[in-house]
Structure 1
Amino acid sequence: MVDVVRPEDDYFHTTTMTDSPFWNESAWFPFYVAERDLSGFVYMNHRPNMNFSMTGVALWDPSGEEMYDCLYHDWHEFAPLNPSTNTEMFDYTTPNGLTVHCLKPQKAFTMQYDRDGCQFDLRFDATMEVANAGFPDGSEEWGPHHYEQAGRVTGTVRINGEDIAVDCGSNRDHSWGPRLYKDNPRGDFPWFNDGKGFAFQTYNMGTEPQDTDPIVGTTEPAITGWLQKDDKVANVVTGTRKVVERRPDGVPWRLVIEGTDELGRTVHAEGRCKNVLKWVPWARYLQYWSLCEWTLDDGSIEYGEAIEWFPGIQARKFLRAQTEIR
């Protein structure tokens, strides 16, 4: 992990990049419309040494949960990177109609998309400095360098002939380094953000061996994380995540998260998933990506996400077991 994240880390790391074809620079911008149980993202995985990008957009709500039947999904696996047009980490256009532009590193970005009657016109504005999270031991295959940043997404999306206003908290990230999808353990990325300066995020790692099933009620440790509150951002030093209910098909549906940061501030929240996208962008991993309504101890409600992923060998065993139980 780099010692300090700088504005130039929002660009390709050409000075430190190895010649590995698996060098990967990835990022995502999630957003939601809570009153409609609607989620969306703009996601990118650039492979500069291979001269292509895997990038795309998605929209989903309770009307569809698969990549092929959700509101909208367009994942372009081999979009060419074109150095002659000054393609950069957050400055590029792909053949499937997506354009991302960095207005100011670590501060503001725009995302436009137009294809098949689906349109995005969105802007991300940071509400805190970046959190230099890195990846915990055991997850190095995602890449050694990683940061997150709370912000706010505003704009509109158009789907099925309707314009939908977006104004929500968000939590972008950027990772870089060689990436090999092989044996990373199951994990979860729960977060919430009011878009006004109160945000919480942890990275929780599954504790079971990959040949065993995740058990409802198992408390799993937060490996990294941060809390933004009262104009102060501090690292989470202890925390847990527990699934207290899964649907019959295995999707996590109710969760409890907690954490204490290095300033002694605590968060305890109960989450209720409002939708799910069963996402399989990489052959070896299944991901459950959900809008989550988080209820804090004081009764206040915050929105964000719960994002659980499984290695393929564990997902297959777990899901086939659920089918047998039914």
Structure 2
Amino acid sequence: MITPEDAEFHPSGTARMWTETNYFGFDIPAVPAHVGLYALFRPNLGTVNSAVFVNSRKVEASWEVDFWDSRAYLPLPESGSLLDYRLDNGLAVRCLEPNKVWELRYDNGESLQVDVRFEALMEPFDIHDPDMDPRAKAAGRGDLSAGGAYAGHFDMTGAVTGHVVLNGARHEVDALSTMDHSWGVREERQLGTMTWLQCHFSRELALHAMFDFDPTIGPDRPFEAHLTHGYVLDGGKALGLKEGSARMTRKGMYSDTLELHLVDAHDREYRVRGVAQTRAPIQYWPGSMAFMVMPRWEMGDLVGYGTSTDFLDLYHFTRLYNN
């Protein structure tokens, strides 16, 4: 069970690689663009890894996106708190109500300014709580979320309002978002895989799912992904997913078309199809590469947006390209 105290740093003991992360990413469908605000804290090393980016195109390299700022050795914030901090790269986060409301700001003093507010539409979804997640005890060997890096983890869908100024152009933001917070011992090598995916249809209806997949399936080949955790947000309440699968076609290593079949704890089925509108490689932390796309989702007559991100460790690539 997630409590308000879990919005803050957790006791880290003496583990050198103890890590806490926060991700706040949101879409601007009219562009279409995705804005990512990520921070990975290693309190026992005194460092923060942060990635801030904006992408509206289909690109092959991170330096081709609209905006990219990646730092590996920022100092820990002077506040010593996840509830109110500012990093030296210009990212500032203030939690007004634990696990419910955050103010998110970023300013590099030149080409990108972000000023938005995230307001939760649900309670935090604890992937380790069997009362909330029917798959809490079903993690497989390839499931990244089963490792020590996700000893604690929650996801939460919310509404994001405010504005972004990119290269002088102002974009109003009134969007949906799924954030997450993880804590645990996160080594630099992580041999599991994960697809982290959201379909946002309205403030009343959204889907969030995590999958694992076979990392030996290479570029331009279709692949199947298998549900590890997830929920449907329905009218302000999240209901866990108990079964699910995804089938993706790829262009290179990027998902291009995505077909989801999900079943919630009440046996309701959801069939969703997505087509990627953007794509970019995002390196959230050294040692891993994530292939992010922003699909346009359709479920019956409903249309939504949200990202799908496939995480692989760099270790996996030697097997992909040397066989």
Pairwise same-fold verdict (TM > 0.5) = yes
Name the structure 1 match of 2:191: 184
Cα separation, 1, equivalents of 2:315 and 2:216: 7
Residues 80-129 of structure 1: CA distance to partner in whole angstroms, max 9, x if unpaired?
Answer: 114xx433124211111111111110110011111132111111000111
Aligned pair partner of 1:259 in 257, 262, 267 = 262
Letter in 1 for 2:230: G
Structure 1: stretches of 5+ with no match in the other structure: 322-326
Cα separation, 2, equivalents of 1:237 and 1:197: 20
Matches within 5 A, 1:159-238: 159-206=166-213, 208=214, 210-211=215-216, 213=218, 216-238=221-243
CA apart distance, 1:177: 0.9
Partner SS state of residue 275, structure 1: strand
Partner SS state of residue 127, structure 2: coil
Name the structure 1 match of 2:244: 239
Q: Is the counterpart of residue 114 in structure 1 residue 117 in structure 2?
A: no
Cα separation, 1, equivalents of 2:4 and 2:55: 32
Aligned pair partner of 1:309 in 275, 289, 311 = 311
CA apart distance, 1:294: 0.8
Whether contact under 8 Å (1:56, 1:98) holds in the other structure is no
Cα separation, 2, equivalents of 1:145 and 1:276: 29
Cα separation, 2, equivalents of 1:282 and 1:114: 21
Residues 266-325 of structure 1: CA distance to partner in whole angstroms, max 9, x if unpaired?
Answer: 2110111110121123343221112111111x221111111111222333443678xxxx
Whether contact under 8 Å (1:259, 1:267) holds in the other structure is yes
**Larger relative CO (CA 8 A, sep 6+): 1 or 2?**
2
Structure 2: stretches of 5+ with no match in the other structure: 129-135
Whether contact under 8 Å (1:150, 1:195) holds in the other structure is no
RMSD: 2.0
CA apart distance, 1:179: 0.6
Letter in 1 for 2:118: F
Cα separation, 2, equivalents of 1:234 and 1:319: 40
Q: Judge which range, 190-199 or 121-130, deviates more.
A: 190-199
Name the structure 2 match of 1:132: 126
Cα separation, 1, equivalents of 2:193 and 2:279: 17
Matches within 5 A, 1:1-326: 4-14=1-11, 17-62=12-57, 64-82=59-77, 85-115=78-108, 116-134=110-128, 136-138=139-141, 139=144, 140-206=147-213, 208=214, 210-211=215-216, 213=218, 216-243=221-248, 245-247=249-251, 249-296=252-299, 298-318=300-320
Cα separation, 2, equivalents of 1:235 and 1:214: 32
Partner SS state of residue 44, structure 2: coil
Whether contact under 8 Å (2:205, 2:233) holds in the other structure is yes
Provide TM-score, normalisation by structure 2: 0.89
Q: How many positions carry a matched residue from both structures?
A: 309
* Aligned-residue identity in percent: 22
